[in-house]
Structure 1
Amino acid sequence: MQTILWHDYETFGQDPRRDRPAQFAALRTDLDLNPVEDPLVLYCKPADDVLPAPVACLITGITPQEAQSKGLVEDQFIARIDEAFRVPETCGAGYNNIRFDDEVTRHTLYRNLYDPYAREWQNGNSRWDLLDVLRLAWALRPEGIVWPKGEDGKPSFRLELLTAANGIDHASAHDAMSDVEATLAMARLLKARQPRLYQWAFDHRSKHALRSLVDLQSRKPLLHVSGMYGTEKGCCALVAPLMWHPVNENGLIVWDLRESPAELVDMDAETLRYRLFSDRATLEEDGNTRLPIKVVHLNKSPILAPSGVVKGTDPARLAGFGLDGATLRTHLAQVREVADKVQDVLKAVFESPPESTDDDADVALYQGFWPDSDRKLMQEVHRQPPELLGELDVKFSDDRLKTLFFRFRARNYPETLNSEERERWERYRYTKLTDPDSRYLTFERYFAEIQRLMARPDCSARDREILENLIIYGQSILPAL
Structure 2
Amino acid sequence: MSFVFYDIETTGISTAFDQPLQFAAIHTDTDLNEIERVDLRCRIAPHIIPSPYALMVTGIKPEQLVDTGLPSFFEFTQNVMELTKRWAPATWVGFNSIRFDEELLRQAFYQNLQPSIYATQFNGNNRLDILTAIYAVWCRNQGLLKWPTDVRGRTIYKLDRLAPENGFNTHNAHDALGDVEATLYLAQIISKGDPVLWSSLVENRDKKKVMAKLETFEPVELVLRFGGGPPRSYVGCFCGTSEGNATQAAFFDLETGDPETLINADDAAIFEAVDGSPKIIRSIATNKAPALFSILDPDIEHQRKAALIAASPDFRERVGRAIAARFEDGKTAPLVPIEKQIYGGFYSKEDQELLAEFQQTDWARRHEIIGLLGDLRLRQLGRRLVAFYGRDFLSKSEIEQFESFIHERWYASDVPAPEWTTFSSAARAVDDLRAQPETDQDALDLIEAFLAQMASKRHFSKSRS
CA change 1:229–1:239 in 2 (3 A) is farther
Give yes or no for the alignment of 1:260 onto 2:257: yes
Superimposed CA distance per residue, residues 122-142 of structure 1 (whole angstroms, 9 cap, x where no aligned partner): 443222111111211121112
Q: Secondary structure at the match of 1:32?
A: coil
Match in the other structure for 1:109: 109
Match in the other structure for 2:410: 433
1:446 to 426, 437, 451: 426
Superimposed CA distance per residue, residues 294-327 of structure 1 (whole angstroms, 9 cap, x where no aligned partner): 221111122211023xx7xxxxxxxxxxxxx87x
Q: Distance in 2 between the 1:206 and 1:48 partners?
A: 39
Match in the other structure for 1:4: 3
Q: Distance in 1 between the 2:129 and 2:55 partners?
A: 25
1:403 to 361, 373, 380: 380
Structure with more helix by fraction:
1
Q: Distance in 2 between the 1:349 and 1:144 partners?
A: 39
Could you tell which deviates more after superposition, 27-36 or 207-216? 207-216
Q: Distance in 1 between the 2:368 and 2:354 partners?
A: 14
Could you tell which deviates more after superposition, 338-347 or 126-135? 338-347
CA change 1:422–1:89 in 2 (3 A) is same
CA change 1:375–1:152 in 2 (3 A) is farther
Superimposed CA distance per residue, residues 235-273 of structure 1 (whole angstroms, 9 cap, x where no aligned partner): 332221100222111221112233124553465445654
Residues 221-300 of structure 1 mapped to structure 2, 5 A cutoff: 221-228=219-226, 231-232=229-230, 234-261=231-258, 264-265=262-263, 268-270=266-268, 272-273=270-271, 276=274, 289-300=277-288
Match in the other structure for 1:471: 451
CA change 1:94–1:223 in 2 (3 A) is same
Q: Distance in 2 between the 1:56 and 1:266 partners?
A: 52
- Report the CA distance between 1:413 and its aligned residue: 3.6
Percent identity of the aligned residues?
Answer: 24
Query: Residues 223 and 232 of structure 2 are in contact (CA less than 8 Å); yes or no, is this contact kept in structure 1?
Result: yes
Query: Residues 254 and 305 of structure 2 are in contact (CA less than 8 Å); yes or no, is this contact kept in structure 1?
Result: no
Match in the other structure for 1:459: 439
Give yes or no for the alignment of 1:75 onto 2:52: no
Match in the other structure for 2:48: 50
Match in the other structure for 1:337: 308
Superimposed CA distance per residue, residues 193-217 of structure 1 (whole angstroms, 9 cap, x where no aligned partner): 222222332233211222221225x
Q: Distance in 2 between the 1:474 and 1:261 partners?
A: 60
What is the letter of the counterpart of residue 347 of structure 1?
G
What is the letter of the counterpart of residue 379 of structure 2?
K
- Report the CA distance between 1:466 and its aligned residue: 4.5
CA change 1:197–1:54 in 2 (3 A) is same
- Report the CA distance between 1:76 and its aligned residue: 0.9
User: Normalised by the size of structure 1, how large is the TM-score?
Assistant: 0.85
Query: Residues 12 and 52 of structure 1 are in contact (CA less than 8 Å); yes or no, is this contact kept in structure 2?
Result: yes
Could you tell which deviates more after superposition, 100-109 or 219-228? 219-228
- RMSD across aligned positions (CA): 2.6
Give yes or no for the alignment of 1:346 onto 2:323: no
Q: Secondary structure at the match of 2:142?
A: coil
Superimposed CA distance per residue, residues 353-374 of structure 1 (whole angstroms, 9 cap, x where no aligned partner): 3334452122211121112222
Query: Residues 250 and 319 of structure 2 are in contact (CA less than 8 Å); yes or no, is this contact kept in structure 1?
Result: no
Match in the other structure for 1:280: none
- Report the CA distance between 1:276 and its aligned residue: 4.4
- Report the CA distance between 1:80 and its aligned residue: 0.7
Q: Distance in 2 between the 1:380 and 1:293 partners?
A: 46
Could you tell which deviates more after superposition, 6-15 or 81-90? 81-90
- Report the CA distance between 1:415 and its aligned residue: 4.2
Query: Residues 367 and 383 of structure 2 are in contact (CA less than 8 Å); yes or no, is this contact kept in structure 1?
Result: no
- Report the CA distance between 1:419 and its aligned residue: 2.2
CA change 1:270–1:403 in 2 (3 A) is farther
Match in the other structure for 1:307: 295
Superimposed CA distance per residue, residues 274-296 of structure 1 (whole angstroms, 9 cap, x where no aligned partner): 6645xxxxxxxxxx625232221
2:39 to 38, 41, 44: 41
CA change 1:399–1:156 in 2 (3 A) is same
Residues 166-181 of structure 1 mapped to structure 2, 5 A cutoff: 166-181=166-181
Match in the other structure for 1:281: none
Query: Residues 171 and 182 of structure 2 are in contact (CA less than 8 Å); yes or no, is this contact kept in structure 1?
Result: no
CA change 1:42–1:473 in 2 (3 A) is farther
- Structure 2 residues not aligned, in runs of 5+: 461-465
Query: Residues 222 and 235 of structure 2 are in contact (CA less than 8 Å); yes or no, is this contact kept in structure 1?
Result: yes
- Report the CA distance between 1:426 and its aligned residue: 0.6
- Structure 1 residues not aligned, in runs of 5+: 278-287, 312-324
Q: Secondary structure at the match of 2:245?
A: coil
Q: Secondary structure at the match of 2:214?
A: coil
What is the letter of the counterpart of residue 95 of structure 1?
F
Query: Residues 388 and 416 of structure 1 are in contact (CA less than 8 Å); yes or no, is this contact kept in structure 2?
Result: no
Q: Distance in 1 between the 2:63 and 2:393 partners?
A: 23
CA change 1:442–1:393 in 2 (3 A) is closer
Q: Distance in 2 between the 1:239 and 1:176 partners?
A: 37
Could you tell which deviates more after superposition, 422-431 or 136-145? 136-145
- Report the CA distance between 1:451 and its aligned residue: 2.1
Q: Distance in 2 between the 1:152 and 1:414 partners?
A: 55
CA change 1:116–1:465 in 2 (3 A) is farther
CA change 1:444–1:274 in 2 (3 A) is farther
Q: Secondary structure at the match of 1:19?
A: coil
Residues 85-104 of structure 1 mapped to structure 2, 5 A cutoff: 85-87=84-86, 88-104=88-104
Q: Distance in 1 between the 2:307 and 2:171 partners?
A: 52
Match in the other structure for 1:386: 363
Q: Secondary structure at the match of 2:169?
A: coil
Q: Distance in 1 between the 2:194 and 2:150 partners?
A: 24
Superimposed CA distance per residue, residues 25-65 of structure 1 (whole angstroms, 9 cap, x where no aligned partner): 1111112222212x211112112222112111111111443
Q: Distance in 2 between the 1:404 and 1:122 partners?
A: 23
Query: Residues 15 and 100 of structure 2 are in contact (CA less than 8 Å); yes or no, is this contact kept in structure 1?
Result: yes
Q: Secondary structure at the match of 2:144?
A: coil
Give yes or no for the alignment of 1:15 onto 2:14: yes
Q: Distance in 2 between the 1:161 and 1:301 partners?
A: 24
